[in-house]
Structure 1
Amino acid sequence: MKPAERRPAGDSRTALPLSVPVTSAAAARSHVRALVRENWRAPAGPASDLALTDLLLVVSELVTNAIRHGGGLAGFEVALPAEGVRLDVHDYSDAVPSAAFGPGTLPRTHQGNGYGWPLIIRLARDIRIEPRREGGKTVSVLVPLV
């Protein structure tokens, strides 16, 4: 789906037009925050502050990983299925993070990195890493809001 498209009413996925391109974690967080506040609906009501904080942490980690370890951010997509927020982050690297499907155990000592993937594993569901036709990969996660 192109960033400027809107899906028909009743579709379980929604996207907002981007006012600025997503080129940083801050821009991605801003876009996702606006999307959730304006468009996400659930029978239980709006997302809690804790759920939104968790979501924005996952957004930051995914985008930062793409920029720092994936050769740059090749694309960023957001969808709103009934259970939460689906994030698709595209980068230019074929390398799959070694901890991508681990148990989510945090490092015992701080060594400057190593916290991002365990946090993503703890906070997200349905984590998928798929190669892109044009090279690189897409990391796709579902962050529950219910």
Structure 2
Amino acid sequence: MSGDFALSRTARETDDIQAKPCVPRAGTRRIASGDGASGGAPQPQVAVTSAALARQFVRSVVRERWDVPGRRASEEAVIDLLLVVSELVTNAIRHGGGIAGFDVAPTPDGIRLSVLDYSDVVPAVVHGPGALPPAHVGNGYGWPLIIRLARDIRVERRPEGGKTISVLVPLT
């Protein structure tokens, strides 16, 4: 990788992914860290070690922090969100040397997920159009699904090594 970069995805179409310089995001809330930054009581420490635990935690964040009177996530939107969670966490485990961190932040538009891993390697298909593999090969479906279901996809190097993959999954 020749420097830090972030990918931005603003619509479901696959031709609008653009590389942009990395800028630290202000106001990122680390709900999973128990700091209470999202308002209200601090959240309990959550050790995400599997896709199942990540899905369970994210579903609870949607119920407790995103769903409010007059705004509820549809079951279809939550299914998309949980699929993205599964793919990001599974990729960190299988290809990124493990999960170094897992952050969840409700936004007015949906849920921002950040998965930290230990690998500096950026998936080659991160710049791709989101096309599915031409034939069933047993893998290669995760990134295309993430590209199709998420927005504002960012891949950033961490100063201590590894990377953070951050996405916004709309719930509106």
TM-score if structure 2 supplies the norm length? 0.77
1:27 to 53, 63, 66: 53
Partner residue in 1 for 2:128: 102
Counterpart of 1:93 in structure 2 is: 119
Counterpart of 1:17 in structure 2 is 44
Q: TM-score, normalised by structure 1?
A: 0.90
- Structure 1 spans left out of the alignment, 5+ residues: none
Structure-2 separation of matches of 1:16 and 1:119: 29
> In structure 2, what is the equivalent of residue 115 of structure 1?
141
The separation in 2 between residues aligned to 1:43 and 1:27, in whole angstroms, is: 27
Residue matched to 1:142: 168
| Residue 77 of structure 2 corresponds to residue 61 of structure 1 | no
Query: Is 1:52 equivalent to 2:78 in the alignment?
Result: yes
Deviation track 1:66-110 (CA, whole Å, cap 9, x = no partner) reads 000001111100000100000000000000000012111111211
Distance 1:78 1:8, change over 3 A: closer
Question: Which one-letter code corresponds to 1:85 in the other structure?
Answer: I
The structural deviation recorded for 1:16 is 3.3
Match of residue 36 from structure 2: 6
Is contact 1:85-1:143 (8 Å) kept?
yes
Q: Distance in 2 between matches of 1:106 and 1:44?
A: 36
Root-mean-square deviation over aligned CA pairs:
2.0
Partner of 2:63: 37
Amino acid at match of 1:36: V
Q: Summarize the Cα distance change of 1:9–1:74 in structure 2 as closer, same or farther, 3 Å threshold.
A: closer
Q: 1:9, CA displacement in angstroms?
A: 4.1
Give distance in 2, aligned partners of 1:75 and 1:37.
Answer: 22
Matching residue's letter, 1:55: L
Structure 2 gaps, min length 5:
1-29
Which letter maps to 1:127?
I
Correspondence for 2:97 among 66, 71, 88:
71
Question: Matches of 2:38 and 2:57 in 1, distance apart?
Answer: 20
CA contact (8 A) 1:16 1:35 kept: no
Q: CA deviation at 1:53?
A: 0.1
What's the secondary structure of 2:159's corresponding residue?
coil
Query: Which secondary structure does the structure 2 equivalent of 1:58 belong to?
Result: helix
Q: Distance in 1 between matches of 2:39 and 2:89?
A: 29
Number of positions where the alignment pairs a residue of Structure 1 with one of Structure 2:
142
Which of structures 1 and 2 has the larger relative contact order (alpha carbons within 8 angstroms, sep 6+)?
Answer: 2
